[in-house]
Amino acid sequence: MKRGFATIILIAFILPGLAINFNGVSPKTSKAGKEVAVIVEVKRIRSLNLQNESVYLRVLINGQDSVWWRQIFRGMDIWPEWAFAYNVVEYEENKEIPIQIELWKKGIIDQPCDISPQKGNYLYGKTLTLFYNLTSGEWHGDDWLGDASGYGHAGGHEDGNYDENDYEIWFDIYEEGSTDGWWGGSDRMTPWEKAKYGLNESMEYGNVDIDGDGIPSDWEDKYGYNPVVPEDHRHLDPDNDGLDNVEEYLTSKWLSDPFCPDVFLEIDFMEAKYPSQKDYVLPKKSQEMIISAFTKHNIILHIDDGCMGGGGDLIPFDSKMYGDELRAAREKYFLNGDPNNWRRGVFHYGIMCCQMGWAGRPAGGRMFYIDSFCVGVQYVRNWLWMLKLQGSDYETALASVTMHELGHTLGLTDFEGIDNESTRFPWSKGYYIWKNYESCMNYRYVYKLVDYSDGDDSDHDQNDWEVIKERLPRFQGDWW
């Protein structure tokens, strides 16, 4: 990606008539060892409140508006291709460059979105403010190395107020070609870091595993590890999410972070019985609802519905799937016939099917393996009229029951308020006894609530989120 960016910059210099808007940023000629091009790359922009709005970025590097190409983005979850900002600054040892990142919602009157963990009014407290060190290549401020919400990830949810046009963004900051011009380098180690490690400053080491410990130097350097000293990454899990550092590296292309818990879910769908009918899928809006619930508790949920190369398969129609059929589907569509598939122990697995057979009665879903569950979409369709009377809707109902079944694979199993049949109907005593347990794991709230309980009541309640964080590592080795 860095090489591609630098190539476009180079072409723009050679062909001055090229129709590219540099937004007033004047290219400069780099002087070897004295000037550095600082790059800010925004990788993902996501609305916490599921707003399908038009937004744009404003990035100040060292006080200068430095967005390379002004663009308008639209959607709830955006993965922009060209969201870069750059500025050339003079190098001084340990000099810190201020960087401000702003996100604005386009409208009759443009409004700032909240992407900062700080509290404040209007623009103050919504801008992400960082300080980038030219020597170490690290930054601090509103985001820092070891930040519990992720290094290169920040959002307005971190201030506890979710009603300020809250968005979250993923970004990276690095230097480009400080020895040979912008097109001269493609790894993130600065020349001064290479000198410290005794490496050749003119060579590129980005994808090279210098110390042979299983992880290339770029990843190690970004997250504070020494790229020239072997470390036992197979047994390092600083965020205690059950993914060791090698697995964090393998999933880093999907923006995982070794210091912020990540949960990966691969999900497959089922064909409808007839071509005129709708397939059994998990709608995008339902996915975004679940992701937002996790984000607000500093767990990043990644859903592979085909976007990560594994999910999104359409299983042939089956009117009612039983346990042996579900396990067979898991082997075929999730593990691809390989019991040692690297995704086992990394991804949870879900199937959106028509219906399943369970204990002689219809059911909306079930966990059928320690890492796997299914959801009966037809069950939701059959009862949607009643769910709407209770204030729910199709996307919310599917999000809630999917989150319920995922919760079982995350370790929510042994609390008395979970799957308690007495909580299902208003004429049952348990419906009122367990009112405080506001969780989609409670039958009173499933199909209506897309959240787990935070345990804020003293009676008949549990902090589901803390239980999940405690039990994430169990997912690695406790197989049925």
**Domain ranges across the chain:** 2-204, 261-476
Closest CA to 448 of 387, 382, 389: 387
Instruction: Report yes or no: 378 and 262 within 8 Å, Cβ to Cβ.
Output: no
Q: Answer yes or no: are the C-beta atoms of 218 and 201 closer than 8 Å.
A: no
Q: Kindly tell me the burial class for residue 452, based on how many C-beta atoms sit within 10 Å of its own C-beta (0-12, 13-18, 19 or more).
A: buried
Return the pLDDT at 32.
42
pLDDT < 50 regions, the chain: 1-32, 178-185, 477-480
Whether domain 2-204 has CATH 2.60.120.10: the reply is: no
- The phi, psi pair for 433, rounded to 5°, reads -60, -40
Structure confidence at residue 203 (pLDDT): 86
Bridge partners, 154 (sequence order): 169
Amino acid making up residue 419: D
User: What end-to-end distance do the CA atoms of the chain give, in Å?
Assistant: 41
Among 125, 56, 64, residue whose Cα is nearest residue 89? 64
Instruction: State residue 122's pLDDT score.
Output: 65
Q: What is the per-residue pLDDT for 333?
A: 97
Written out in words, the top-level CATH class of the domain with range 261-476 is alpha beta
Which stretches of 358-434 are DSSP H helices? Answer: 377-382, 384-389, 394-409, 430-433
Q: What is the pLDDT of residue 188?
A: 85
* Residue 30 confidence (pLDDT): 36
Spatial neighbors of 17 by CB under 8 A, at least 6 apart, are none
Question: For position 184, what pLDDT does the model report?
Answer: 42
